[in-house]
């Protein structure tokens, strides 16, 4: 493993001559970093740019947000709704860079994402200069894959209209002229006929006096003249004794210790071409996982199960090639291992 200053260079992410991009790690703190070797230009700062940490010999060291992964992990499998959020964020960053006179073409390997956040790396380098709007279109096509025709921002990307990408979707509907509501037909008043006042109710004649005397019947009471003592039910007393025991058992069940993992979470690994085989080992697991480092998860292609969400550090071995370390976010889309 190569060392540059106080940083380990764990693996190469991309080669863009004369630029080489590494995934690195600070030897003092253990935090992940991105190292760009062969830099020529000046570092820039912005809300959507990776924070600049230090400059070394013809190299830049940028901060790598914890849990973030390169956008190249989602090539061909990106969710269209989340892709729209990433495209709008990158369009805003490109607009800000154009206002500074900087031409920057984003690359999938140099864009990190975590959830709905996106960061761009290498803005200000001569090796990454280019048409940012055309590069954003090609990047969206690669991420959406076969579903690019369904992407709602496709037309704005093809026109290279950053303003349309940043405008809210409701603006188009508000710009259309609205038709006036149809007029309701006028109702003609109906002729009103005066009603005659109601006649006062006639007084009812008084009831006739009864001709027969009232009869009062005195019958025997249904209840006996002495108190009735019912036999005690022993079943009720047993139920009263069982209630505290049931409450104690219910409390023990509710407050029983539970395992930390909430899995399993299925992770699908693919190889390209499918005939290739790749061994996937676990190097680091997130908090809450019971998996032990050094475990062979599976031999790809196939599906593995992990017991907790988070970021897993994996080592992928392909016969005849150098091993590659990889950060995998769970849950997430399938991972494709391309063997070249």
Q: Would you state the pLDDT for residue 235? A: 59
Segment 333-338 shows an average pLDDT of 89
Whether 160 shows a pLDDT value over 50: the answer reads yes
pLDDT of residue 94: 94
> Taking residues 174-182, what's their average pLDDT?
43
CB contact set of 336 (below 8 Å; sequence gap of 6+): 75, 76, 270, 271, 272
Q: What dihedral do alpha carbons 306, 311, 312, 314 form, nearest 10°?
A: 130
Region of 338 (left: φ > 0; alpha: ψ -120 to 50; beta: rest) is: beta
Q: Evaluate whether 111 touches 186 at the Cβ level (below 8 Å).
A: no
pLDDT of residue 211: 44
Residue pLDDT, tens place only, 38-85: 988 888 988 899 999 999 888 999 999 999 999 999 999 999 999 999
Give the separation between CA 290 and CA 309, rounded to whole angstroms. Answer: 12
Q: What percent of the chain has pLDDT over 90?
A: 51
pLDDT at 232: 59
What pLDDT sits at residue 201?
56
Is residue 243 over pLDDT 90? no
Q: Which of the four pLDDT bands, split at 50, 70 and 90, describes residue 89?
A: very high
Alpha-helical (H) ranges within the chain are 80-99, 132-144, 154-159, 162-166, 170-175, 234-254
The rounded distance, in Å, linking the Cα atoms of 246 and 249 is: 5
Residue 5: the pLDDT is 87
The span from the CA of 286 to the CA of 265, in Å, is: 13
HSE of 182, CA atoms in CB hemisphere, 13 A: 2
Q: Higher-confidence residue: 221 or 3?
A: 3
Task: Encode pLDDT of 253-281 as tens digits.
Answer: 776 654 444 568 999 999 988 888 999 99
Residue 76's pLDDT is what? 92
- The helix/strand/coil state of 179 is coil
- What would the mean pLDDT of 132-147 be, rounded to a whole number? 94
Distance CA 315, CA 300 (A): 12
For residue 231, what pLDDT is reported? 54
Q: What is residue 314's predicted lDDT score, i.e. its pLDDT?
A: 93
Distance CA(251)–CA(304), nearest Å, equals 36
Average pLDDT, the chain: 81
- The predicted pLDDT at position 159 comes to 92
């Amino acid at each position: 493993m190569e060392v540059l200053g106080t940083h380990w260079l764990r693996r190469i992410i991309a080669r863009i001559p004369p630029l080489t991009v590494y995934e690195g790690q600070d030897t003092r703190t253990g935090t992940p970093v991105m190292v760009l070797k062969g830099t020529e230009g000046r570092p820039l700062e912005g809300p959507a740019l990776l924070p600049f940490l230090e400059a070394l010999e013809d190299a830049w060291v940028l901060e790598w947000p914890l849990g973030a992964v390169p956008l190249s992990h989602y090539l061909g499998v990106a969710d269209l709704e989340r892709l729209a959020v990433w495209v709008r964020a990158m369009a805003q960053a490109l607009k800000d860079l154009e206002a500074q006179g900087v031409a920057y073409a984003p690359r999938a390997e140099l864009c990190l994402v975590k959830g709905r956040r996106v960061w761009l790396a290498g803005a200000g380098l001569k090796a990454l200069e280019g048409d940012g709007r055309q590069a954003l279109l090609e990047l969206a096509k690669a991420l959406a894959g076969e579903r690019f025709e369904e992407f709602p921002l496709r037309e704005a990307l093809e026109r290279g209209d950053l303003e349309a990408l940043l405008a809210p979707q409701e603006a188009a509907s508000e710009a259309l002229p609205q038709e006036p509501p149809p007029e309701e037909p006028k109702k003609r008043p109906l002729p009103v006929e005066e009603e005659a006042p109601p006649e006062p109710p006639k007084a009812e004649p008084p009831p006739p006096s009864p001709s027969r005397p009232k009869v009062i019947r005195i019958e025997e009471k249904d209840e006996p003249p002495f108190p009735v003592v019912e036999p005690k039910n022993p079943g009720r007393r047993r139920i009263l004794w069982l209630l505290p025991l049931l409450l104690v058992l219910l409390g023990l069940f509710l407050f029983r210790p539970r395992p930390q993992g909430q899995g399993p979470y299925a992770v699908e690994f693919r190889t390209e071409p499918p005939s290739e085989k790749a061994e996937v080992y676990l190097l680091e697991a997130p908090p809450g996982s019971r998996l032990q480092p050094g475990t062979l998860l599976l031999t790809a292609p196939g599906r593995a199960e992990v017991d907790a969400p988070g970021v897993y550090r994996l080592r992928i071995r392909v016969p005849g090639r150098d091993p590659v370390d990889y950060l995998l976010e769970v849950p997430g889309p399938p991972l494709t291992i391309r063997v070249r």
